[in-house]
Amino acid sequence: MGQDAVSELIKRYLNGTSTDAENAILESWYLEQSTKSSPLSLEEVEAEEILMWRHLQQSIKRPFIILFFKRTASVIWIAEIILRMKQLLKDTP
Q: Do 32 and 46 reside in the same domain of the chain?
A: no
User: Could you give the number of structural domains in the chain?
Assistant: 2
How distant, in Å, are the alpha carbons of 9, 29, 40, 65, 74 from that of 33? Answer: 15, 6, 16, 38, 49
**d(C-alpha 18, C-alpha 77), whole Å:** 48
Q: Are 45 and 86 within one domain? A: yes
Judgement on whether residues 86 and 69 belong to the same structural domain of the protein: yes
Instruction: Identify whether residues 55 and 92 lie together within a single domain.
Output: yes
- Based on the domain organization, do 46 and 17 belong to the same domain? no
Separation CA 83–CA 58 (nearest Å): 38
Shared domain check, 52 and 92: yes
Q: pLDDT per residue over 40-83, tens digit each?
A: 778 888 888 888 888 887 766 666 666 778 888 899 999 999 99
Let me know how many helices (H) and strands (E) the chain has, helices first: 3, 0
Q: What is the pLDDT of residues 11-46, one digit of tens each?
A: 888 888 989 998 899 888 888 877 766 677 788 888
> What is the DSSP secondary-structure string of 39-61?
PPPHHHHHHHHHHHHHHHHHHHH
Q: Are residues 29 and 62 in the same domain?
A: no
- Domain range spanning residue 32? 1-37
pTM score? 0.38
Residues near 26 by Cβ (< 8 Å), separated by ≥ 6?
6, 9, 10, 13, 18
At residue 5, what is the residue type?
A
pLDDT (0 to 100) of residue 79: 93
On whether both 90 and 46 belong to a single domain, the answer is yes
Residues 46 and 88 reside in one and the same domain: yes
